[in-house]
A and B are shown apart, each in its own frame.
Chain A
Amino acid sequence: MNGARSPKRVEPIFPRSKIDMLKDFLEGKPLQHPIHPMLVHFPIGLFLLSFLLDLASLASSSVPNLVRGSFYAMLLGLITSLVAAVPGLVDYTDIRSDHPGKRTATAHMILNFMVVVVYGINLGIRSSSLLDPKISMGPFILSLVGVGLLSASGYLGGRLVYDEGIAVGRHKRHMPTPRDTIHLTAPIPGADSVFVPITAAQQLRERETLRVEIDSQVMTIAKIDNQLFAFQEFCTHRYGPLSEGKFEGFNVQCPWHNSCFDVRSGKVTNGPAKVDLKTFKVETRDGKVGVLLTKHP
């Protein structure tokens, strides 16, 4: 593997349209770090600060300017939350539709929308009484609700990264990732060896992938050096999605922890993975390209 790793970045093989480049930018590919998780620090921290200042104003009315300070913190929090929403939406659209994290992401987005609305109303209500020594009950309760929703939403956002691996290692890949899984069934179930044509594989571009499920066997189909390869979808380390991996020579690199495998043999070429991938034979029969599934590989 190390011989195949070149020090300079591989140029994208296909020219990107302006929209694609904007999308890459909002996904943080030039920074090699997703942008949404960078920006969300601000609303989370600032909304919490405004809540603490509200509490402080209730605890001691002798300290001046707490209500005003809380308002400023909340205002900056709302502005930054709107900025963070833009790359967040782009990240959302890039999650494969049947990914287990998709529903979490939808809930995260709905909660965030509610947070923005609650804080918008909160700011409107408290803007007329900035000189009060104590925050009044209405906006205080809205702060309490806002912090509750924000905590739930922030937690889900964290689960998306740390449990579902969303956006982890995404910047390493230049080609788009599969939008869906293609579900196919073997024509003769139970036969020793069956050929399953995969029509979509014919249109694959260089280093593009398909995620295919044939009778519950999930695999990645990748085109490398103008040849098609099929191998198991899940990395043998922590089961990261190889259909979203990066290709270098005949190696696929898992987006999560950078394990590398030779797509021709399935052999591990770089850890942390230790177990080889299952590979499948790609053949052309009657002008149709597909995989050969054998019962005893």
Chain B
Amino acid sequence: MKWLLNFLKGKWLGHPLHPILVHVPMAMWPGALIFDLLSKWQIGGNAMVRLSFYAIVFGLATSLLALPTGLVDWTGIKKEKPAWKIGLYHLALNIVVTALFAINLGLRLPDFRDAVMVATPPLTLSILGTAILIVSAYLGGRMTYHYGISVARMSKDEWREIAKAGGANLPPE
């Protein structure tokens, strides 16, 4: 089991996996919204409708991979830390967003092959999903950039050497 945890944490890559994988849904779903709007303005025709569909599929597939890596990173945070609660909100919002885009995809399934314009109900879901996604992604970013989650986790030995060479007091190894 430990190898799986280390795999999901990205130790083999020297980089946490979750923030890599989330680039895909984070680009695909707001991208789908942009493609939906372009299609509403009669740009691109069926190519744009299909593109939006494929973007949502790619986002969904990757978000399912991102989920276990995010869970592993989150369980590494102590419950009394502020980042733990932010992680919980981030997780809950991401589940909502994923469900919204799954429904969105279902609505498109019958006619994306021929339609030349995205219908209003899936467009509405794209707007809603993107709005919630932005909030959720911001919380994820806060975990990294404000609370330092996963920062210097894999590089701490290198930094220790630098600090040691710089004459610093060090914690016991």
Residues of A within 8 A of B (CB): 31-34, 37-38, 40-46, 48-49, 52-53, 64-66, 68-69, 72-73, 76, 100, 154-155, 158-159, 161-165, 167-172, 213, 216-218, 232-234, 236-240, 255-258, 266, 273-278
Contact = CB atoms under 8 A, between A and B. Distances in A.
B171 interface: yes
29 contacts: A33-B145, A40-B23, A42-B31, A43-B27, A45-B27, A45-B59, A48-B58, A49-B28, A49-B58, A53-B51, A66-B50, A72-B48, A154-B20, A155-B15, A158-B19, A161-B145, A162-B16, A162-B153, A163-B15, A163-B154, A163-B158, A168-B148, A169-B145, A172-B146, A236-B170, A238-B153, A239-B160, A275-B172, A276-B169
B151 A168 contact: yes
Contacts of B124: none
Nearest to B138: A33
Contact of A162 (B51, B151, B167, B168): B151
Given A168-B151, A233-B166, A236-B170, A44 B23 contact: yes
Contacts of B1: none
A274 B26 CA distance: 37
Interface residues of B, number: 56
B54 interface: yes
A41 B28 CA distance: 9
Nearest to B165: A216
B152 A239 contact: yes
Mostly, the B contact residues are: helix
A282 B171 CA distance: 25
B44 interface: yes
Contact of A33 (B47, B142, B154): B142
Interface in B19-48: 19-20, 22-28, 30-31, 34-35, 38, 44, 46-48
B155 interface: yes
Contacts of A257: 147-148, 151
A239 to B, nearest CB: 4
A131 to B, nearest CB: 10
A274 B169 CA distance: 11
Residue with the greatest number of chain B CB neighbours at <10 A, chosen from A48, A72, A161: A72
A266 B169 CA distance: 10
B167 A278 contact: yes
Given A162-B150, A277-B169, A234 B162 contact: yes
A165 B27 CA distance: 24
Contact of A68 (B30, B44, B145): B44
A65 B163 contact: no
A161 B144 contact: yes
Nearest to A28: B145
Given A33-B142, A163-B154, A239-B152, A76 B147 contact: no
A234 B48 contact: no
B168 A278 contact: yes
Contacts of B110: none
Nearest to A130: B47
A161 B151 contact: yes
